[in-house]
Structure 1
Amino acid sequence: MDIAENAALVVVDVQKGFEELDFWGSRNNPEADDNIAALIDVWQSTGRPVVYVRHDSRKPGSPLRTGYEGNGFKEYVEQRRGKGSGAELLVTKTVNSAFLGTPDLGAWLRAEGVSQIVVAGIQTNMCVETTARMGGNLGYEVLVAYDATYTFDLEGPFGWRQRADELARASAVSLHGGGFAQVVTTADVVAAAK
């Protein structure tokens, strides 16, 4: 695996509100936060650009709503912001894709000459997947650090219910098998980026 010298790490929605399990339900991959931290650390130590994405929910009861404590980044992310020697960007959004936020992520990546992005964060099958799909559609080489993501159990139509692990695997298969992104492990990305 080759990680470009200017590959951008896109850290999606690693916010305190996702700790409110009474709202979200059961989650998968308890190691995700450690893996996200490891990615940020290697990106910062190698001077690569990091993009922090924050979801500013417009739903009144959402743990991610603007003005509520849960809207803020988790402590380990907040502690790392501004600490690297590479470029850094904060994108805020109200929809699933980081490419539809403010400021314009695609314009910033183009201005920085970035053609490869590594996506990590929350939720695997929601904002991570949507950002990865759009990145692929826009012509970026997208890698998704699968074990640096997590999601929650979810109910869909007809009373169908999927566990978080099942949803995460389905996202990985769709992204990788559909050609939107290469789905990889944090260890492989870290080793290649050093």
Structure 2
Amino acid sequence: MSSTRAALIVIDMQNGFINDQSRHVIPKVVELVERWEDTGRPVVFTRYHDYPGSPFERLIHWSKVQHTPETEIVPELSQHAARARTVLDKRIYSYFTSEGADIAAWEGWTDLVFCGVPTESCVLKSAVDALVDLGRFRPLWGLFSPMRCVSVEVPIHVSVGRDLGSGGVCCRAWLLGGM
């Protein structure tokens, strides 16, 4: 992985997504972000914002992460977010909003490493989108950091991690062990 063409994308590490099942991932993400920053590589944080009348609210009656403090990055990562290349606000699961895609293209990133919550939706969607041809990103490899991601439902997280690791998205232990 080229040190100048790789970026760490920290997905939705927000107060509204942290609960008893996900709290343990915070120090792991902090460690990864700190190690990544030490290499001088760029870090991007995303923040998901649900909204009144959204499909989530209409279809599944889910109306969380619409207001502060739920939309804020967890306190343990707030200083890192302040130093990040950008904090991308989004209303979709994926990092690849038009702004996110433009940033990746402008920066010339070819390697993206994803970590964060929730694994089964926003992290997975971002990793899968990194693998599809978005018109400007060939090749763009999505790297999944399975020990730095979590789902509310552990069986879903294990399944997604297994699928990402063997189904085309690369899991690189060397990336976690020694950048």
TM band (smaller chain): 0.7 to 0.9
Residue matched to 1:173: 162
TM-score by length of 2: 0.83
The residue type paired with residue 125 of structure 2 is T
Percent identical pairs in the alignment equals: 21
**Does residue 43 of structure 1 match 2:36?**
yes
Residue matched to 1:109: 104
8 Å CA contact 2:16–2:64 kept in 1: the answer is yes
Residue matched to 1:192: 178
Residue matched to 1:64: 65
Q: CA deviation at 1:136?
A: 1.1
Q: CA deviation at 1:190?
A: 3.9
8 Å CA contact 1:146–1:184 kept in 2: the answer is no
Residue matched to 2:170: 182
Cα deviation, 1:73-124, whole Å, max 9, x if unaligned, reads 00011122234xxx602111111111026xx212211211210000000001
Q: Distance in 2 between matches of 1:108 and 1:192?
A: 26
Aligned to 2:28, what secondary structure does the other structure show? helix
8 Å CA contact 2:94–2:129 kept in 1: the answer is yes
Cα deviation, 1:136-159, whole Å, max 9, x if unaligned, reads 11341111100101111xxxxxxx
Q: How many residues align?
A: 165
Q: Distance in 1 between matches of 2:158 and 2:177?
A: 23
8 Å CA contact 1:56–1:71 kept in 2: the answer is yes
Aligned to 1:97, what secondary structure does the other structure show? coil
> CA, structure 1 residues 52+43, in 2 after alignment: closer, same or farther (shift >3 Å)?
same
Q: Distance in 1 between matches of 2:125 and 2:81?
A: 24
Q: Distance in 1 between matches of 2:87 and 2:176?
A: 22
Q: Distance in 2 between matches of 1:4 and 1:68?
A: 37
8 Å CA contact 2:7–2:42 kept in 1: the answer is yes
The residue type paired with residue 97 of structure 1 is S
TM-score by length of 1: 0.77
Aligned to 2:82, what secondary structure does the other structure show? coil
The residue type paired with residue 169 of structure 1 is V
State the superposition RMSD in angstroms: 2.0
8 Å CA contact 2:145–2:176 kept in 1: the answer is no
Residue matched to 1:155: none
**Does residue 82 of structure 1 match 2:71?**
no
Q: CA deviation at 1:178?
A: 2.2
Cα deviation, 1:16-61, whole Å, max 9, x if unaligned, reads 1123x4xxxx625x54211111111012111101110000111476
Q: Distance in 1 between matches of 2:167 and 2:71?
A: 32
**Does residue 10 of structure 1 match 2:9?**
yes
Aligned to 1:51, what secondary structure does the other structure show? strand
Q: Distance in 1 between matches of 2:92 and 2:103?
A: 19
Unaligned segments of structure 1, at least 5 residues: 153-163
The residue type paired with residue 126 of structure 1 is S
